[in-house]
Amino acid sequence: MASTDPTETSGSDRQAARERTYRMLAGIMAALFLGFGALGGLFLWYDSATSWVSHTHKVRTGVADTLEALTEAESAQWAYVLTADRRFIATIADAKTRAVRSLEALDRLTADNRAQQGRLAPLRQQMGIRLEVIDQVVAARRAGAPVAAIRIIRQGRGIAAMEAIRVQLAQIDATERQLETERIDRARTIRVGVIGALALFAVLLAAVVVRTLREIDLDREAEADAAERLRDLLADRTLLIDEVNHRVKNSLQQIASVVRLQSRASPHADTREALEKTLDRIMAVGRVHEQLYRSGEMLGDFDAGLYAETLSRELVASLGREEVTLETQVISAKLDVRQATPLALILNELITNALKYGCPPGRPCKIRVTLGTEEGAYRLSVSDDGQGLPPNFDPRRGKSLGMRAIDALTRQLQGRFIIETAEVGAHFALVFPRSLA
Amino acid sequence: MTMRIMVVEDDALIALDMVGLLEELGHEVVAEAADANTAWSRAETSRPDLALVDIRLARNTDGGKLALRLYDQLGIRSLFISGSITEDFRRDMARVKPVGFLGKPVTRRTLGEALKAT
């Protein structure tokens, strides 16, 4: 694979495979239509060839019928001359009709063949003569003169006509027989062609089906490959995130440890307090990381309510004072990851301040932490029931890092920091948008 | 109740901090080690009541394996401390009755609470 990005490679592989399948499908459709068209044409050709064979056969039957009818008329004429039985007159009439009809049929059937038509004209003439002679013989005999009738016969005109008829019919038949042979041969050739084409078509179709199946297999393989590569990638990614998470936590621990060691080594209470505050801030940030990422899981949402609850409990508990009670009332609020750290640090400052100034040692006190909504934004508040703020308290002018940090972080959150007036204790609130602009 | 504890941690400053925290909490640190092999030999000699064990240790040794051996052969239980503790790890360790699993960063309070569980 030339490409370095496995997702890209597998994607284009699959696309190529799918395009091949589409092209193949179009090819199959075209081949099917063409094949069916060609087969249909061949079948029509074969059908026409066989109908020409049967046409020729009809002509030959017409020839035989004509000759048979004339022969029967001739025989009946003899029978009538010998027996004067009137039944033979009817036979003669019937045979004559059949002879004329057969001739008409021959005329119709050979209308497209000039040579055969040329033979029909003298045939018709000779047949007229033959039938006329028979009529004469029958008339003479009916008049009661068998001798006269026999004389007419012996003149030989009828016999000569009959000979001419036989010759003509034999020629017509010979011509048709030759045509029939030719046409049967042609039909046979076409039939072989049809069978051959059918076999070829079947082979092509089978080949196309086999190739298409192979293409589908290739596509499936490409898909399976892609899925496997994605699984591997995902596993790699999870492993990497786990590793980074581990290192982040270890680094936080290193920083926390160094600060705590320094604090323990400091002879001055002020320095120790400053370092402990720093430690709290580091831990507040560490807890954001903890909540955003849990081992084996993807990066999660930051729930400000859950965070406020956990952090306040943690800070109050770490104070280790029974007389401090905590009251929380928070909603679940999923925040943008970029909002998490500033919010965490503000919350940390407010709660540690409330614990420090609102709950001086030696008297019971209550800290209240709430998170709710206000006009489409979130409102976070921290209050205590201590002595309250000095009358001219201005967070922006103070030297306390905590308040200056809150002011700066509030701007980062695009929110408003509110100091509420209350009869008892200090009340702070932060109103901030649901997401950053 | 004062316990005799062994600290197994490959990061020197974190180890120092843990020793400080444990002493603040009123316990005695009887041994320190940065890798599993050293930890094993120190445990055999000093026989601590409990081991504070980081999972990834120096010289590519494994805190989990160490904890299994400590419990199986010396009956010493462990309190694990690590940046990432997976569910698989918790399951694998259930047999040796760990005192707890502490995620880093460790605070004085979380460590104290975990040790109260013994």
User: Would you state the pLDDT for residue A1?
Assistant: 39
Host H or E run for residue B30: strand B28-33
Residue A39 has pLDDT above 90, yes or no: no
Residues 6+ apart with CB under 8 A from A2: A9
User: Would you state the pLDDT for residue A291?
Assistant: 82
Closest alpha carbon to A366 in A349, A351, A346, A377 = A351
DSSP result, B51-105: EEEESB-GGG-BHHHHHHHIIIII--EEEEEES---HHHHHHHGGG--SEEEESS
Host H or E run for residue A99: helix A87-109
Of A253, A258, A320, the CB nearest to B104: A253
Q: What is the pLDDT of residues A205-242, one digit of tens each?
A: 888 888 888 888 888 898 899 999 999 999 998 888 88
Residue B106 carries which DSSP code? Answer: P
Please give the tally of structural domains in chain A: 2
Ranked by mean pLDDT, which of A14-18, A22-26, A213-217, A348-352 comes out on top?
A: A348-352
Flag whether A36 is in a domain.
yes
Rounded to a whole number of angstroms, the distance from the CA of B17 to the nearest CA of chain A is 5
User: Would you state the pLDDT for residue A353?
Assistant: 86
Residue of B10, B11, B17 best to disrupt the A interface, most CBs of A under 10 A: B17
Instruction: Over range B20-44, report the average pLDDT.
Output: 91
| CB-based contact B17 A250, cutoff 8 Å | no
Flag whether B46 is in a domain.
yes
Rounded to a whole number of angstroms, the distance from the CA of B110 to the nearest CA of chain A is 9
CA B51, B55, B59: angle at the middle one, nearest 5? Answer: 100
- Identify the weakest region by mean pLDDT among A21-35, A197-211, B28-42: A21-35
User: Would you state the pLDDT for residue A13?
Assistant: 65
Residue B4 carries which DSSP code? Answer: E
Residue A363 token pair: 């008297």
Instruction: Over range A396-409, report the average pLDDT.
Output: 80
Q: Specify the CATH number for the domain of residue A69.
A: 1.20.120.1730
Partners of B22 on chain A (C-beta within 8 Å) are none
Q: What is the pLDDT of residues A101-123, one digit of tens each?
A: 998 988 888 888 888 888 888 88
Flag whether B16 is in a domain.
no
Residue A402 token pair: 């905590």
Strands (E) in A166-230, as ranges, are none
Instruction: Over range A341-366, report the average pLDDT.
Output: 88
A211 and A315 fall within a common domain: no
A204 and A350 fall within a common domain: no
d(CA A348, CA A253): 18
- What is the percent of chain A where pLDDT is above 70? 94
User: Would you state the pLDDT for residue B92?
Assistant: 87
User: Would you state the pLDDT for residue B79?
Assistant: 92
Q: What is the pLDDT of residues A355-375, one digit of tens each?
A: 888 888 878 888 999 999 988
Residue A8 has pLDDT above 80, yes or no: no
Helices A6-83 and A87-109: crossing angle in degrees, nearest 10, is: 150
* CA neighbours closer than 13 Å in the CB half-sphere of residue B92: 14
| CB-based contact B109 A286, cutoff 8 Å | no
Are A120 and A107 spatial neighbours (Cβ–Cβ below 8 Å)? Answer: yes
Instruction: Over range B52-79, report the average pLDDT.
Output: 88
Tell me how far the alpha carbon of residue B14 is from its chain's centroid: 12
A68 and A211 fall within a common domain: yes
**Bridge partners, A420 (sequence order):** A427
Residue B9 token pair: 């941690």
Partners of B25 on chain A (C-beta within 8 Å) are none
Search chain A and give the residue with CA nearest B103. A249
Residue of A245, A252, A260 best to disrupt the B interface, most CBs of B under 10 A: A260
A306 and A216 fall within a common domain: no
With tokens 């306040």, the residue in question is A312
A35 and A135 fall within a common domain: yes
Residue of B107, B108, B111, B113 best to disrupt the A interface, most CBs of A under 10 A: B107
Residue of B84, B89, B108 best to disrupt the A interface, most CBs of A under 10 A: B84
Instruction: Over range A177-204, report the average pLDDT.
Output: 89
Q: Specify the CATH number for the domain of residue A318.
A: 3.30.565.10
Q: End of a domain among A222, A250, A270?
A: A222
Q: Specify the CATH number for the domain of residue B109.
A: 3.40.50.2300
| CB-based contact B109 A252, cutoff 8 Å | no
Cβ atoms < 10 Å from Cβ of A246: 18
With H, G, I as helix, E, B as strand and everything else as coil, classify residue A397: coil
Q: End of a domain among A191, A222, A253?
A: A222
Strands (E) in A256-374, as ranges, are 302-303, 324-330, 334-335, 365-374
DSSP result, A127-162: HHHHHHHHHHHHHHHHTT-HHHHHHHHHT-HHHHHH
Residue A267 carries which DSSP code? Answer: S
- Identify the weakest region by mean pLDDT among A15-19, A60-64, A242-246, B86-90: A15-19
Range of the structural domain that residue B86 is part of: 4-10+22-28+35-97+104-116
A193 and A306 fall within a common domain: no
- Identify the weakest region by mean pLDDT among A16-25, A89-98, A127-136, B48-57: A16-25
User: Would you state the pLDDT for residue A298?
Assistant: 57
User: Would you state the pLDDT for residue A395?
Assistant: 65
User: Would you state the pLDDT for residue B15?
Assistant: 92
Flag whether A208 is in a domain.
yes
Are A397 and A408 spatial neighbours (Cβ–Cβ below 8 Å)? Answer: no
Ranked by mean pLDDT, which of A1-10, A22-31, A167-176 comes out on top?
A: A167-176
Of A242, A250, A260, the CB nearest to B104: A250
User: Would you state the pLDDT for residue A356?
Assistant: 85
User: Would you state the pLDDT for residue B7?
Assistant: 93
Are B57 and B8 spatial neighbours (Cβ–Cβ below 8 Å)? Answer: yes
Residue A82 has pLDDT above 80, yes or no: yes
Q: End of a domain among A222, A244, A278?
A: A222
Flag whether A424 is in a domain.
yes
Flag whether B15 is in a domain.
no
User: Would you state the pLDDT for residue B23?
Assistant: 92
Range of the structural domain that residue A368 is part of: 298-432
Flag whether A60 is in a domain.
yes
User: Would you state the pLDDT for residue A212?
Assistant: 80
Host H or E run for residue A55: helix A6-83
User: Would you state the pLDDT for residue B81?
Assistant: 92
| CB-based contact B109 A314, cutoff 8 Å | yes
| CB-based contact B106 A260, cutoff 8 Å | no
Residue B20 carries which DSSP code? Answer: H
A170 and A319 fall within a common domain: no
Instruction: Over range A292-300, report the average pLDDT.
Output: 63
Residue A396 has pLDDT above 80, yes or no: no
Q: What is the pLDDT of residues A257-283, one digit of tens each?
A: 999 999 999 999 999 989 988 998 998
Residue A321 token pair: 């004072």
Contact of A317 with chain B, judged by CB distance below 8 Å, is answered with yes
**For chain B, first and last CA: distance in Å?**
10
ipTM of this predicted complex? 0.90
Residues 6+ apart with CB under 8 A from A260: A275, A279, B17, B20, B21
Flag whether A217 is in a domain.
yes
| CB-based contact B17 A257, cutoff 8 Å | yes
Please give the tally of structural domains in chain B: 1
Are B96 and B51 spatial neighbours (Cβ–Cβ below 8 Å)? Answer: no
